[in-house]
Structure 1
Amino acid sequence: MSEKIRIVGVEEHVALPVVLDAWAKAGVPQTPQLGFGDDVIARRLRDTGEQRLAKMDDQGLDVAVLSLATPGVQNLTAATALSVAREANDALAEIVSSNPQRFQAFAAIPTPDPEAAAGELERAVTQLGFRGAMLYGRTGDKPADAPEYDDLYATAARLQVPLHFHPQIPVKPVIDAYYSGLGAVGMGLATAGLGWYYDLGVQYLRMIFTGVFDRNPDLQVIAGHWGEVILFYLDHTGVIAPNTDLQRPLADYFRQNFWVAGSGTVSERYMRWTAEVVGTDRMLYSTDYPYTYGTRPDDFPFLDTSRGVARSFLENAPFTDQEKVAIGNGNWERLTGR
């Protein structure tokens, strides 16, 4: 390309002290993947300074839209979720204000307290300048389509800000039924190997089939991991749609209410499939830092990557220059209106 693409990563995670403290008090296992300890992933999650900027430069990422590591504040009690979310959002706003050219942020939303969830989204957008919010599918056993969240979704639609959903661990009965008896491999399959994506994909379908988007036709949702499996089975799932009360064909919801990013899954096949199903004008970019970060072999020895893989992957994609610019930053700017 004759002109450098500006790349905005919309799924770039952080671990904040207030959230780590709340998780520890709640008895959450203190794993490196959540930001605890001295493991390389934990250190990268907690860092929002020069080291993170250096990693962004290494990947060719111009802007990182920061969000809490899964499950945000959605594993906390209603009594504590709001205060932790507010403090986390204030901290994220300070990080962004320290370097607004490189950082943006998604708000943490206290879904355990549904009455407070919409209010905190409004505050984060109108007072803190956030571009939207990051949600994490279920809140406990409560699915994302629960009627209690109608006000939250209506508020997002009114404010014209997207809600990015991120997977979380499936509920225990699912883990026991499908992933038990396999040792460490079982939990790997239940989470980043497979289970995360099915769990969240089902949440998306529940939102569609229970009328969330029919009640809020302007609601915009960002799906990572190339659509959380659903795009690959849309033709099958669409067969049952005529037997429902949906106001539109199933595929239309994904082409009118969803935006899709790869979450660091460097797969040209998945990228092409996503473009075929939803179109390049509905595609965004993300690296899922630090979980799929792999600029050097010593970061993740099992990944065959090279320096700047985020940028080179997009620059070498089988799209026109105009489409690459749209995926890199244009669609994000159009979605957020700035």
Structure 2
Amino acid sequence: MLPLITLEEHYVSSALPPDADDLASHMELPPQLQSKLLDLDAERIKDLDTGSISLQVLSHGPLDADASICAKVNDELKAAITKHPKRLAGFALLPMAEPEAAAKELERCTKNLGFLGALVDCHLHGRFYDDNFFWPVFAKAEELDVPIYIHPTFSSDAMMSHYRGNYDEKIASALSAFGWGWHSDTGLHFLKLYCAGLFDKFPKLKIVIGHMGEMLPFQFDRCVGVSQRMFPQHKRGLKEVWDENLWITTSGMFSLPPLKCLLEVKGKEKVLFSVDYPFSANEKGRKFVEEIEASGILSEKELKAFGYGNAERLLKVKL
């Protein structure tokens, strides 16, 4: 089995206050899943071995926290990485409600703790990052030359009106999250960032999204056509930004048809394997890599790039 790097892999800090606006406050987690999220030691390493994962880049589950809590959480993750430096790495948790503090925490985490970038929720209670209030974070990421991974989060109360209908509230919650909304909101977020001119302002910015591109690959040709009419003033076209500024992981999706679409639309040098652990099992990810290899849609060289080489270049690591 070739070595594998995974980038959208989660944990939950034991240092959170009881009233934290985190994953557990939005959904009921089975005990086994809670255990895996909290474990940063033996159980996690065992699961890495089972799934043939060489390096797992950890990021905290959805959480709106202030700068002091983010610092504690990041320090806790650093301690875990120090115990397993060849198996674990980190994306910083940032206090996005405090952009200047978030930029400073990103710098501290990358320069002092050795983190590889940051993962941020795809909105802050319904407020997306096309608002230039948040742009100090992107300015710092470009300066440090580290990626920002934009990850789905739970809908705000106002956003829930899109998902409610003639069915139970639990169904609406599922539609707003893993059933649809997480992915459409994150794909929309990338388009909103482009529309706002973020990539003209920060042309070297590196953005990562997961789940085979959050619905964008299938729709992308239409998006490009519309953008050419709507944004002639942009210095850089949507296709250029898509090609140069965006990396996409397979996290949480394990079927060939969407991967084939992604590879056709995105190209192969910025598509990266990921699992979405522990919400998806590392063994399932390993079996998907085996299925990809058997399908022949990637050459041996391309499969190595997909499994770890593209991640090595993006994250500046070496297995």
Tell me the TM-score normalised to structure 2 length. Answer: 0.92
- Specify the alignment match of 1:300 in structure 2: none
- The reply on whether 1:177 has 2:162 as its aligned counterpart is yes
- Specify the alignment match of 1:226 in structure 2: 212
Describe the shift of the 1:126–1:143 C-alpha distance in structure 2 as closer, same or farther (beyond 3 A).
same
Q: 1:267 aligns with which of 255, 258, 261?
A: 255
Counting only pairs closer than 5 Å after superposition, residues 1-338 of structure 1 correspond to structure 2 as: 4-19=1-16, 21=18, 23=20, 29=25, 31-33=27-29, 39-70=31-62, 72=63, 74=64, 76=65, 81-183=66-168, 184-242=170-228, 243-244=230-231, 245-293=233-281, 295=283, 308-316=286-294, 318-338=297-317
* Gap runs ≥5 in structure 2: none
In structure 1, distance between residues paired with 2:67 and 2:294 = 43
Q: Deviation at 1:94?
A: 0.8
Q: Deviation at 1:312?
A: 2.2
In structure 2, distance between residues paired with 1:28 and 1:325 = 36
Describe the shift of the 1:270–1:278 C-alpha distance in structure 2 as closer, same or farther (beyond 3 A).
same
Runs of 4+ in 1 over 6 A off after TM superposition: none
Preserved contact between residue 59 and residue 311 of structure 1 (Cα < 8 Å) = no
Count of paired positions: 313
In structure 1, distance between residues paired with 2:286 and 2:226 = 43
Work out the percentage of aligned pairs sharing the same amino acid. Answer: 27
In structure 1, distance between residues paired with 2:306 and 2:286 = 17
Residue 133 of structure 1 aligns with an amino acid whose one-letter code is A
Q: Deviation at 1:127?
A: 0.4
- Specify the alignment match of 1:302 in structure 2: none
Q: Deviation at 1:171?
A: 2.5
Describe the shift of the 1:253–1:106 C-alpha distance in structure 2 as closer, same or farther (beyond 3 A).
same
Q: Secondary structure at the match of 1:107?
A: coil
Preserved contact between residue 206 and residue 245 of structure 2 (Cα < 8 Å) = yes
Q: Deviation at 1:283?
A: 0.8
Q: Deviation at 1:294?
A: 7.0
Preserved contact between residue 32 and residue 41 of structure 1 (Cα < 8 Å) = no
Preserved contact between residue 251 and residue 274 of structure 2 (Cα < 8 Å) = yes
In structure 2, distance between residues paired with 1:167 and 1:27 = 12
In structure 2, distance between residues paired with 1:180 and 1:89 = 40
In structure 2, distance between residues paired with 1:46 and 1:196 = 23
Q: Secondary structure at the match of 2:149?
A: strand
In structure 1, distance between residues paired with 2:212 and 2:133 = 28
Tell me the TM-score normalised to structure 1 length. Answer: 0.87
Q: Deviation at 1:114?
A: 1.3
Q: Deviation at 1:241?
A: 1.1
Preserved contact between residue 150 and residue 207 of structure 2 (Cα < 8 Å) = yes
Preserved contact between residue 107 and residue 124 of structure 1 (Cα < 8 Å) = yes
Q: Which range is displaced more, 136-145 or 108-117?
A: 136-145
Q: Secondary structure at the match of 1:280?
A: coil
Q: Deviation at 1:178?
A: 2.5
In structure 1, distance between residues paired with 2:219 and 2:53 = 31
**1:32-62: per-residue Cα shift (whole Å, max 9, x none)?**
44xxxx6211111111121111212222211
Q: Deviation at 1:333?
A: 1.1
In structure 1, distance between residues paired with 2:263 and 2:272 = 11
Q: Secondary structure at the match of 1:323?
A: helix
* Gap runs ≥5 in structure 1: 296-304
In structure 2, distance between residues paired with 1:335 and 1:166 = 17
Describe the shift of the 1:32–1:57 C-alpha distance in structure 2 as closer, same or farther (beyond 3 A).
farther
